[in-house]
Amino acid sequence: MASEVDARDTLVLVTRPAQAGERLTCELRARGQRALWWPAFDLLAPEQKEPLLATLRHLADFDLAIFVSVQAVRSLAALAAPAAVPSQWPSQTAIAAVGPGTLALAHSLLPGARCVRSIGTHAGGGTGSEALWEVLRSAPALPRSVLIVRAETGREWLGERLREAGCQVETIGVYRRIVHVPSSEQRAALAACRSGGERAASLVTSSEAVAALDRQFAQAPDEKAWLRSGLALCSHPRIAQALRAAGYGDVRECEASASAVIEAIAPRRDAETLSRPAEAL
């Protein structure tokens, strides 16, 4: 059982990319938890946009479009808006998402998306590919044609299940992920925490991020060992499996929210003591 000292002497390494990772880091600090934003990836626009726009021009040919992340929604909206493709979301193309935040953002950013059939995960049934698949497979009929909106790679499991069930599946990579190169300031902050005796708690939000962390610490074996000797927090069993296979010993599952992360690190009575905002690293 973690103690109050454990909570206050733990550095949360937030590997979630983009705005969501920065926001979570700030929320943790506001609750008194020391945190360092260390994105596993930088998210970039696709190099070739015209093939993607060509697919979007035929969006009405799909029975269902699945958004696998908030970033997938943001990237498609940024890609489509200047070309007005589509000017309105086609009424015959339903929208599905792996989490409620992703679905809400699709309704907000995509013209006409609020007016079409939407499919989300059940309350209390979890989020992610598995949870969405359970919803889809329990429906009276599966869609005949599905478009999965994602990064250039990833979410293979969901596509495989749909194909096995007889669906025609196409993927569209609306953003690229490249391994983030930490700045000298980020590395110095991390080294200071390690030398100061703090425990690491790495928050990992994708299976691919496990390998990305290894690449980031390829030339820093001491920091790499320090991370593995600490906690690893993740939001899904498949990520937990990847972390254990990579040598992380203490792996705990939790949502990628400030309250859930703090509760995973320390008992509730200790988490409640983290009321004073932590200083930025």
- Do the Cβ atoms of 165 and 137 come closer than 8 Å? yes
User: Tens of pLDDT along 31-42?
Assistant: 999 999 999 999
Query: Angle, to 10 degrees, between the axis of helix 258-265 and the axis of helix 18-30?
Result: 60
Residue-wise pLDDT for 44-103, tens only, equals 999 999 999 999 999 999 999 999 999 999 999 999 888 778 889 999 999 999 989 999
One domain, residues 164 and 200: no
Using one digit for the tens of pLDDT, what is the confidence trace for 118-148? 999 876 667 788 889 999 999 999 999 999 9
Q: Are residues 36 and 93 in the same domain?
A: no
- The answer as to whether 171 is a domain residue is yes
Judge whether 117 and 111 are in contact, CB under 8 Å.
no
The stretch 219-230 carries a mean pLDDT of 95
Owner of token pair 């320390």: 266
Q: pTM to 2 decimals?
A: 0.84
Helices vs strands, H then E, count in the chain: 13, 11
Mark whether 130 and 189 lie in a shared domain: no
Report the CATH number at residue 135. 3.40.50.10090
How confident is the model at residue 259, as a pLDDT?
A: 95
Domain count, the chain: 2
**What domain range is 115 assigned to?**
44-177
Q: For residues 91 and 208, state if they share a domain.
A: no
Same domain for 55 and 36: no
